[in-house]
Amino acid sequence: MSENKKTIFRGAATALITPFRDGGVDYASLERILESQIEKGINALVICGTTGEPATLDDDEHRRVLDFCIAKVDRRVPVIAGTGSNSTQYAKELTLFAKRAGADAALLVTPYYNKCSQSGIVKHFNEIADASDLPLILYNVPSRTGFCISADSYKALAKHPNIVAVKEASGHIPLMLEVLAECGDDLDVYSGDDHLLVPLMSMGAIGVISVLSNVIPAETAEMARLCLEGRTKEAADMQLRYHRLMNAMFTQVNPIPVKTAMSMMGWCRNEFRMPLCPMEPQENEKLASMLADYGLI
């Protein structure tokens, strides 16, 4: 990373679930989860990312969840606020709120539904980055947004001093390698896919923003630590050991399986915001069996 940019974290960050109870945010369970994540050695926390169901949080809830988590974590690990939107103005306002609340960085997904052109994505992110000095992590996940940041757009965005990293969840390995090769001095790269934790870190990524670490934070952090220490074979052995559990977290759209798993482990209720809904009984049985196999319930 160039001297004028700051690395937010190295290792594993949890894309945290948002627990609900009786239709509202369950702050008591959220605090318990935060404390457990920190105790078990997670390197950073992403609040109101995709796994946190921000699309169905209203504006006040979104801001209150960010405020609550930032205050409770109290600088013990970096807190990264999910502030992305398909409205540039709203994303800018939410990013400014995160800055005032004390977030260490913001995670910004590419615009969805209305999408944009490649020149539009550069303008979108640069305008948000111009609004404050809060470090920004770009989030490329075309399976959800229908839009993929190109290598040329990454190169242009890497020039902005406040754009410091990318969560790469495109699944497009050649693109990820080009970003590492061409932008590695100006953009930290995080795997946005648990399945690519070891492969991408072996090529130079410095961490993962993980769904799996909701369920096994210590083990996910250990995999990332081994990669950072160059102990790739040991990390790969761990990833293969947990491969079935990783698969189980994505049998349905995220965060349905991981939140269901967390409820089975006693961390929260199995409650979602529509249109997300609980899994069918037979799917619950399969997931419970998987968690039992790993000694998690």
- Which class for 118: exposed (0-12), middle (13-18), buried (19 or more C-beta within 10 A)? middle
- Rounded Cα gap, residues 77 and 236, in angstroms: 26
- Rounded Cα gap, residues 123 and 274, in angstroms: 33
**Please, which residues have CB within 8 angstroms of residue 296's CB and are 6 or more apart in sequence?**
215, 216, 261, 265
Look up residue 277 and give its amino acid: C
**And the tokens for 119?**
């020149």
- Kindly report the backbone phi and psi dihedral angles of residue 82, in degrees, each rounded to the nearest multiple of 5, phi listed first: -75, 115
Reference 217, options 29, 44, 31, 9; nearest CA is: 44
- How many residues appear in the chain? 297
- Rounded Cα gap, residues 160 and 276, in angstroms: 36
Active site residues: 139, 167
